[in-house]
Structure 1
């Protein structure tokens, strides 16, 4: 039984009793594995565009009159980025020396190459409160790139990107950035400092909104017996629901097209051409697909069974890998309407040069149809030979490069919260103050949170994927002038 204090704690977060009970039930029942038909590959599931097709979609994007908005998840702290340096700092305090060739040693050797170097100190200045405190800062506010007369943060590089592919006919650039409450002021201050500079340079007007992950999307932790985890003071322990919680933020945006890309996936401006080019290709592909979907929906509405059902069925299978089983015409009309009348997303996929795992797959749905889904490795049943074979056959991975068309053919915005699969969450084992616990995450933003979308995968080049996962990634040519 919950105490009155615990009930008040749940209510204060904006979590309903039903939602709380559903969270507990998920821990008890777990989440089922999806039925994988095959990995999505260029043979089936991933489009490889010719040079002519690429040029065509760039032209479509450049002529698009709708409202485009960038969506940038940027709330994560940079703690993992500096993990090796934290460990080295602890070792130095204990009287040890830096190991030759270690990440920390490379950091020290190349300190002058980093844009945040100011010649005063190295590890302590980088990590702790008495100086930059980079170890506790969000990646979006850390200086990534050094230019002749300035240094830039990832947030600034996203402003530059937006001006180059998301500027409308009036010169407006819209961007929504999700940030943590504690760091929102820092983002707002940086934006105020640089806004005019980039507006003058690119001839645009920025409209940037900062949003926070709602506490109503947090999920209670449980102990190893699936009982609510209580802290020493008797209060419940809640944890963030993961990036799937950002679906609510995404749903609040009034735009025709949303472009999603992580905060740390940026390059220096001199290397930006291919990124901009491919972003336009994805926008053009998504908007053209949406127009075709609109046309077919109108025909189904107006003609019913007299609409070109075989053509529509073939379109769904060729473009979205949505294979619809044989059924009577009247039933087929209803199914095609339901399958067409959904948000559309086009996702860039990069060739896999590492270990197989999470990425693009063809899935068998409960209703007998198939669809394209982005799965994390944890969603793949390692005890199922077919699933393991599909994982081994995977040729591409998900770089988080999405273009989403989120309005229906009547110009109304889809309620994205109605197009998710709540049974695709994650459960993992963690600890709190030395005590083991189970943590749950909502269906991932580009995973189960977009399960009920019409999805197309397009091969994009590796040059478009340049994340900074560790501080030493800033020494790569995409980020450094060395």
Structure 2
């Protein structure tokens, strides 16, 4: 591939090498690689079901251990709220109260969540503010028909002369209305963290945000910080990071040549949320809890969620101790054969690593398998929500391990693979706790544990022209493919994402 001097300067400015760009182009030519799922992970076969007594023990263990570790909550929060309000944007563009009744429009869309929105919109946390603004901006509001009022109200929620909520990062959209205040998802994450992450009176959180949004989050903190710290009795250390430009990926045209913009520059795109593995790689903390920005609950439900967070943390500490002890034993040499058998059994039963090694390399094999980042992932019973699922996957070397797999990674044209996919009973709610340091206290280089074969090619457009875009292996998919993994069942009550504005009307988002 021949790049001009101007191209080379553009590539180097991003912190990327020409070799990396050429490797990305080779991936486009190779195409997507489907994974080989051997079984769906189910309770008793890849997913642990923890009974009440053990849950309490793990919570106590977490509480007794957490002060010995550096802890942090990592929240991907760069998502804009625009998708959340997509149906409302369509409504404003399509609905004419002079020509149609609202009921007819809603029936024509078949969108039950949009119907729920209009049936209960007075329960939205920002309803009163929107109504006040709508009346202020429209002096004849009270004289309009009910359907026309609804359109004005929706426009007020969305547009710049109103609340302009669709222009906010999702983390700063009002989520919950309490007696004395309205809370965003950002605030609810702080309140949750205070209950399980606090050590010596301090809780640390890290938000990955879009460039330009950091100041918005900092402004929200200035508004709510003193109130939240007074309520919780906890001081918060809040960090922000952006997706690193060097994780952007080259785009190509249909002939696999670098895509060029109208001014003949190479076109790079953000590498998807999988690029955030680099943000995580920069963290100094040892134990990191990962959760999406929109998955929060009201204050009256938060303790139940926190208990399961502690349970997952306790499980991680429990397994981490075993791993570190085994690595210490293996490092000393002269390991009795029965101890080696015990470690091999631990790999098979606790970590679900199915593989083998020649006898003379067996100890090195055990060390290599144990000395990896560790994650404990909550898994929720599948009730139709979108999201990747837990599977046992065979890699190109024939080894089987637990992985979180997205539907697009599965070869649905293969009848056996499609059948295995249908047997999945759980999905990934992104409720993960990670151990990022080895038994000597050194941070892992997380980039060494990414499976680059799990990158994903998608068809996009730019300036009206088709292009192929490369997304890096997903943060909790291929980005963590070579981590040691444990799946634990958690109840659906711990998973309350807000994908559309109507989700705010669900019971879990209505304060009692």
Q: What is the TM-score of this pair, normalised by structure 2? A: 0.90
Matched, 1:129 2:170: no
Deviation at 1:94, TM superposition (A): 9.8
Does the CA contact (< 8 Å) of 1:124 and 1:131 recur in 2? yes
- Aligned partners of 2:409 and 2:388: how far apart in 1? 8
Q: Summarize deviations over 1:333-372 as a string: whole Å, max 9, x none.
A: 1111000000110000000122897310111233332211
Please list, as runs of the form range in 1=range in 2, the aligned pairs for 1:161-200 lying within 5 A after superposition: 161-168=192-199, 170-200=200-230
2:86 is matched with: 83
CA distance in 2, matches of 1:395, 1:96: 46
Is the 2:177–2:511 Cα contact (8 Å) retained in structure 1?
yes
Instruction: Give the structure 2 partner of residue 315 of structure 1.
Output: 346
- Aligned counterpart for 1:155 among listed residues 186, 201, 212: 186
Match of 2:290 among 247, 254, 260: 260
Deviation at 1:332, TM superposition (A): 1.2
State the partner residue of 2:312.
282
Deviations 1:149-208 (A, max 9, x none): 00000000000011001001x111000000011111100111122122111111111000
Q: In 2, Cα distance between the equivalents of 1:304 and 1:418?
A: 29
Q: 1:449 aligns with which of 457, 479, 485?
A: 479
On the 8 A contact 2:74/2:289 being kept in 1, the answer is yes
Q: Which residue of 1 aligns with 2:442?
A: 412
Q: Tell me if structure 2 keeps the 8 A contact 1:14–1:216.
A: yes
What residue is the counterpart of 1:40 in the other structure?
41
Distance 1:17 1:95, change over 3 A: farther
**The residue matched to 1:177 in structure 2 has which SS?**
strand
Aligned to 1:273: 303
- Output aligned runs, 1:450-465, within 5 Å: 450-465=480-495
- Give 1:324's aligned residue: 355
Unmatched tracts of structure 2, length 5 or more = 135-152
- What's the counterpart of residue 231 of structure 2? 201
**Does 2:428 match 1:398?**
yes
Structure 1 residue aligned with 2:121: 111
Alignment check: 8 A CA contact 2:299 2:511 kept: no
Contact 1:39 1:361 in 2 (8 A): yes
- Cα distance in 1 for partners of 2:172, 2:3 equals 41
- Range that drifts further, 15-24 or 260-269: 15-24
**Residue 8 of structure 1: how far off its partner (Å):** 2.7
Taking the aligned partners of 1:378 and 1:22, their CA distance within structure 2 comes to 22
In the other structure, the counterpart of 1:292 is 322
Q: Distance in 1 between matches of 2:239 and 2:385?
A: 37
Measured against aligned partners, the alpha-carbon deviations of 1:116-151 in whole angstroms (never above 9, x if no partner) come to: 221133222221222222212111010000000000
- How far apart, in 1, do the equivalents of 2:462 and 2:62 lie? 48
Q: Is residue 66 of structure 1 aligned with residue 69 of structure 2?
A: yes
Q: Which residue of 2 aligns with 1:100?
A: 106
Alpha-carbon distance in 1 for matches of 2:368, 2:336: 17
Q: C-alpha displacement at 1:107, in angstroms?
A: 2.9
1:348 aligns with 2:378: yes
Q: 8 Å contact 1:75–1:138 — kept in the other structure?
A: yes
Q: Aligned equivalents of 2:386 and 2:499: distance in 1?
A: 19
Matches of 1:221 and 1:444 in 2, distance apart? 18
Structure 1 unaligned blocks of 5 or more: none
Could you tell me which residue of structure 2 aligns to residue 140 of structure 1?
171
Spell out structure 1 runs of 4+ moving beyond 6 A.
Answer: none
Please state how far the C-alpha of 1:385 moved relative to its aligned partner.
Answer: 3.0
State the shift of 1:95 in Å: 6.2
Structure 1 residues 333 and 177 mapped into 2: Cα distance closer, same or farther (>3 Å)? same
Equivalent residue pairs, number: 480
1:226 corresponds to: 256
Query: Relative to structure 2, which stretch is displaced further, 288-297 or 226-235?
Result: 226-235
Q: Please list the CA deviations of residues 354-410 of structure 1 after superposition, one character each: whole Å capped at 9, or x if unmatched.
A: 289731011123333221110111111113333212101111000000000111111
**CA separation in 1, counterparts of 2:281 and 2:37?**
28
Match of 1:373 in 2: 403
Distance (whole Å) between structure 2 residues aligned to residue 133 and residue 226 of structure 1: 40
Tell me if structure 1 keeps the 8 A contact 2:387–2:428: no
Distance in 2 (CA, whole Å) between partners of 1:248 and 1:52 is 38
- Check whether the contact 1:356–1:392 (CA below 8 A) recurs between aligned residues: no
